Structure 1
Amino acid sequence: MSFFEEKNAEMDRYLENHASSEPEILKKLRRETFQKTTQPHMISGYQQGRLLTMISKMLNPKNVLEIGTFTGYATLCLTEGLSPEGKITTLDVNEDLAYLPKKYFSESKYSSQIDFKIQDAKEFLRNTDEVFDLVFIDADKENYAEYFRLIKPKTKSGSVVMFDNVLWYGKVLEENPKQKSTQVIKELNDLVAKDDDFENLILPLRDGVNFLRRK
């Protein structure tokens, strides 16, 4: 481990030690994600999870959409702020891994408010008439720009939209990236910055979160 990697790890420990603790169900889910999946780094994790919970609690949303369930960690963080009559729809296409989020959703006290669908997000967005108070996207990067275009009509004034991994390990600084995912993330960030219907800020948390609010 290099000096900078060691310092970053040390800083992460400091940040986690000085943040609110995660609920026990999330600790269990985080452990099982690292035990049973091949890409556990895809989990939202402690710091980002607490951010999602705080934003959800501040908005107290009635209708939440998540694109990219993975093992359900972010989903459960977002449920913590749902209004009593609220719901979260979470979408993924990985049927092989679906057993894991289903297990923890059923154990959650918010189980009745979680609608987990194995469905393509573009198909869902093209066919739904729902309007969302809060949207979190952490899915296939090659579709990020298209997700933004499809999500915009499903928001209203005050709606919050968050895209994860928008710094893409620093690759967004490449002038002429060859990787498709990098090209599309740069396109998304440009689209958002130029869209007068939104105000936004990229938070340099983990791999970057583009935080948008509909005016």
Structure 2
Amino acid sequence: MGLISAEIEKYCIDHSTRPSADAKALEDHTRAGIHGSNMLIGEMEASVLTFLIKLGKVKNIVEFGTYTGYSALVMAEQIPADGTVTTIDINPATTAIAKEYWAKSAHGKKIQQILKPGLEAMKDLDGKYDLVFIDADKNNYSNYLDWALEHLSPNGFIVVDNTLWAGKILTPGLDKQTDSIIAHNKKARDLEGYTKTLLPIRDGMFLIQKN
């Protein structure tokens, strides 16, 4: 879902850093017929992630929500050879597609897959991370944010997808997912010691950086 016209979005994409051929092949495969392909991040979001990784000299990343592995691959391509993308999901079918395409990329070896619910997986992760990308079950967004805040490296980034939720965030009480995103957005807005911006890119990207 986009909040700007398809023509404007295409213009922006055409004037931004584009995904690699490997990432594009995975995107095309997903959009060609994988169930739930609307969950795939778009090229504009991929460009923003690429920009942040380069800007922040990001090395170690945690991602909540793998889907078919497009965003994990995009991020892995930008980090150094000794960097790691740890990505978490519960769906063996879509993560199998991810692993197939990661194996075709020279950067796939930087990706570690955890096949567990996010709340379980994060208990096993320690240390500090330079970027946490949240794009998983919406009802746990606030829980993932809490974990990210505890495990973020100095000057690290948190990026949260779908934070405008097709505009439904303007209608509190609509459903549980909407209210969970509204609660997350308020929590993020009220953080002290962080710089925040909520961008109307695609379905909303909330960017948070530790000061």
Is TM > 0.5 for Structure 1 vs Structure 2? Answer: yes
Computed over aligned residues only, the root mean square deviation of the Cα atoms, in angstroms, reads 1.6
AA at the equivalent of 1:161: I
Residue number among 190, 195, 198 corresponding to 1:194 in the alignment: 190
Residues 54 and 81, structure 1, Cα contact 8 Å, conserved in 2: no
TM-fit CA distance, 1:10: 1.7
Asked if structure 1 preserves the Cα contact closer than 8 Å seen for 2:42 and 2:202, the reply is: no
**Alpha-carbon distance change, 102 to 11 in structure 1, aligned in 2, over 3 angstroms:** same
Q: Is the 8 A contact 2:88 2:113 kept in 1?
A: yes
Percent of residue pairs identical:
29
Give the Cα–Cα distance (whole angstroms) in 2 for the partners of residues 22 and 178 of structure 1: 36
Q: 2:123 & 2:114 partners in 1: Cα distance? A: 15
- Indicate conservation of the 8 Å contact 1:56/1:80, yes or no: no
Inter-partner Cα distance in structure 1 for 2:108 and 2:124 = 25
| Residue in structure 1 matched with residue 81 of structure 2 by the alignment | 84
1:116-135 → structure 2 map (5 Å cutoff): 116-135=113-132
Which residue number in structure 2 is paired with residue 182 of structure 1? 178
Whether the 8 Å contact between 2:198 and 2:205 is mirrored in structure 1 is: yes
Query: For residues 154-193 of structure 1, what are the structure 2 equivalents within 5 Å?
Result: 154-174=151-171, 176-193=172-189
Q: d(CA) in 1 for partners of 2:48 and 2:152?
A: 21
CA distance in 1, matches of 2:105, 2:57: 18
Q: How far, CA to CA, are the matches of 1:197 and 1:126 in structure 2? A: 25
Partner residue of 1:103? 100
| Equivalent residue pairs, number | 209
Partner amino acid, structure 2, of 1:40: S
- In the alignment, which residue of structure 2 is the partner of 1:57? 54
Aligned letter for 2:14? N
Unaligned runs of 5+ in 1: none
Aligned residue number for residue 209 of structure 2:
213
> Which is further off, 8-17 or 101-110?
8-17
1:15 to partner: Cα distance: 1.8
Could you say which residue in structure 2 is the equivalent of 1:73? Answer: 70
